[in-house]
Amino acid sequence: MPLQTAVNTVIAAAVAGDKATADQSIYTPLNHLAGEGGATVGTFGWIQSDGTVIDTGSTAPSGFVERVIAYPNYTVTDDGSLLIPQGFPVTLAVKGDYWVQTTQTCTVGGQVYVNQTTGAIEATNSSGTNVAATGWLFKMAGEANDMVIISNWS
């Protein structure tokens, strides 16, 4: 495996979990750590009874996992990961504008749903009981797997 395959000269247009606007976020009042299995950046997280955050839950999510590079990746030959390892800090936003990768075609103003078993961002409640409404809306239209902006600012 080569150590480097490309050189980017500009910042990526969008990465899941990145802020879409500067300094427009509100966070949970307490700091949290990733729980068992870690927490995935760019989707929603659930705060557990021990205060840790994980990718799955049976209720509405507690907040959105923001991309903050605050943990080491010592294996330099591995591709980048959006998984925050267990025990590392999680920045959990309760309000803001963020980039996400949707798994379904979405429209502007459509409700953002999250699959409670996979953490996938969805545009419809098509899978029924394993999907929770988030209270966030799509601010951009997109096809499945596109990067789009979500927000819960009215």
Summarised one tens digit per residue, pLDDT across range 138-148 is: 999 999 999 99
Query: Does the structure show a pLDDT above 80 at 72?
Result: no
The answer to whether residues 67 and 41 touch, using CB atoms and an 8 Å cutoff, is yes
Q: Which residue has the tokens 């068992």?
A: 36
Sign of CA dihedral 144, 145, 149, 150: positive
> What pLDDT is stored for residue 125 in this prediction?
80
Q: Which of 69, 66, 84, 85 has the alpha carbon at shortest distance from 27?
A: 66
> What pLDDT is stored for residue 22 in this prediction?
82
Q: Which of 63, 69, 64 has the alpha carbon at shortest distance from 11?
A: 69
Distance CA 53, CA 93 (A): 12
pLDDT digits (tens, 9 = 90+) for 42-66: 999 999 999 999 999 999 999 999 9
> What pLDDT is stored for residue 128 in this prediction?
67
Average pLDDT score over the chain? 88
If one compares 11 and 18, the residue with the highest pLDDT of the two is: 18
Q: Which of 51, 53, 121 has the alpha carbon at shortest distance from 92?
A: 53
DSSP for residue 79: P
Residues 14-38, mean pLDDT to the nearest whole number: 91
Q: What tokens appear for 129 in the block? A: 């009981």
